Amino acid sequence: MVARAKVEYVFRVNLKGAKRIWRLVGLTADRTLDDLHWAIFAAFDRDDEHLYSFYFPHAPRSRAARAGVREYVAPFAFEEPGPWDDGTRFDAGATRLRNMDLTVGQRFEYLFDFGDSWWHEVRVEAIQPVAAGAENPIVRKTHGVSPPQYAQDE
């Protein structure tokens, strides 16, 4: 039996409205969207945990625009579905990258902290074999200085 090579997803994550501030993060296919959240959290120097969601292909701009949008939420937020839960919300902690049918060039959105609304654009940069001994997850490259998580931190 031939072992399959481990696959790594490389994501380019930039702050929406500040495209010059971005990070490249790599995670193996067995990792979850919750793991991607924590990689982004660390890559952007965050230190205070908040709710988050990933939106595929993008966040709805209105209630009517929810059709076709899948939202993956923080595991502790998924435990209690809201009154408008329509079956399009999923647990980010139970969603493995390998099961997402991600493709190179695919884009989606990530919202961290529903109060301060840190919006990010995420693009799948590469799907490649994992280098032997590579850390996982790993921040591969950074560009620009992360703004402070809270305005008073400035």
Query: CA separation (Å) from 141 to 22, 24, 82, 138?
Result: 8, 5, 37, 9
pTM for this one? 0.87
Confidence of residue 2 (pLDDT cuts 50, 70, 90): very low
User: What's the pLDDT band for 105 if we cut at 50, 70, 90?
Assistant: very high
Distance between CA 105 and CA 111 in Å, rounded?
20
Task: Give CA–CA dist 93/90, Å, rounded.
Answer: 9
Pairing mode of beta strands 107-112, 118-129: antiparallel
Edge-to-edge strands, sheet with 118-129? 89-91, 70-73, 52-56, 107-112, 118-129, 7-15, 18-28, 138-143
Specify the pLDDT at position 30. 95
pLDDT tens figures, 63-99: 666 677 899 999 987 766 666 566 678 999 999 999 9
Q: What is the DSSP string of 130-142?
A: PPTT--SSEEEEE
Contact 28, 132 (CB under 8 A): no
